[in-house]
């Protein structure tokens, strides 16, 4: 399973049970988001060392993660080409959201699957139904996870999610009535 890691950090890769060591570069937009978020967090009074902000990058096709790493909060991103489809956040009590909810039609009220089923034409695809949309997500989207230690608290997690949303402008975010 392809994955990339910024710098010389040991990182968990989606779909892998163990930590692996890779020495490749995260694509520039995500590495830049990491650096810029660290600066924004510091301005907000939450200094997070750059070494504690992890980026997991899985190209298409990808395997959904099997767990949220212990002691971590995550902001996850689904990309289709250059278009961001969804940005979400997860903590220890919402690990299922991080791992599986966005891949199945009947797993949660608001998911990428449900957005795609309702709005296929918005991204130029068709033919989705409850049985194939999860597999399509795995086959055709890039998954990027930004991880921070949970010791920084839920406000830092919310700041990270909002920051990534502002940077990537996800197509399916919030309620349709709130989007222009």
What would the mean pLDDT of 132-139 be, rounded to a whole number?
Answer: 93
Q: Is the pLDDT of residue 179 over 70?
A: no
What would the mean pLDDT of 143-155 be, rounded to a whole number?
Answer: 97
CA distances from 128 to 18, 60, 125, 133, 171 (A): 33, 18, 8, 5, 17
Tell me how long the chain is: 180
pLDDT tens digits along 32-68: 999 999 999 999 999 999 999 999 999 999 999 999 9
What would the mean pLDDT of 71-78 be, rounded to a whole number?
Answer: 97
What would the mean pLDDT of 93-102 be, rounded to a whole number?
Answer: 83
Structure-block tokens of residue 42? 């510091």
Instruction: Return d(Cα 90, Cα 7) in angstroms, integer.
Output: 24
Among 8-17, 122-131, 158-167, which is the least confidently predicted range?
8-17
Q: Is the pLDDT of residue 106 over 90?
A: no
Instruction: Write out the E strands in 43-136.
Output: 54-58, 72-80, 83-90
CA angle 85, 32, 25 (to 5 degrees): 90
In sequence order, what are the residues at sequence separation of 6 or more whose Cβ sits closer than 8 angstroms to the Cβ of residue 131?
Answer: none
Instruction: Return d(Cα 153, Cα 3) in angstroms, integer.
Output: 27
Residue 25, pLDDT score: 66
CA distances from 105 to 14, 88, 115, 172 (A): 21, 17, 10, 15
């Amino acid at each position: 399973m392809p994955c990339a890691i910024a710098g010389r950090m040991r990182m968990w890769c989606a779909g892998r049970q163990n930590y692996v060591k890779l020495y490749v570069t995260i694509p520039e937009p995500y590495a830049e988001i990491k650096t810029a978020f660290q600066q924004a967090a510091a301005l907000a009074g939450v200094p997070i060392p750059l070494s504690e902000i992890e980026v997991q990058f899985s190209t298409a096709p990808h395997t959904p993660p099997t767990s949220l790493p212990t002691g971590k909060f995550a902001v996850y991103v689904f990309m289709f080409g250059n278009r961001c489809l969804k940005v979400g956040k997860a903590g220890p009590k919402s690990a299922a959201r991080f791992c599986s909810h966005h891949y199945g039609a009947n797993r949660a009220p608001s998911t990428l699957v449900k957005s795609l089923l309702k709005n296929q034409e918005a991204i130029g695809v068709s033919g989705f139904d409850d049985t194939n949309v999860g597999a399509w997500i795995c086959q055709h989207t890039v998954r990027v996870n930004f991880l921070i230690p949970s010791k920084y608290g839920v406000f830092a997690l919310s700041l990270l999610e909002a920051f990534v949303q502002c940077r990537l402008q996800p197509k399916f975010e919030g309620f349709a009535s709130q989007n222009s």
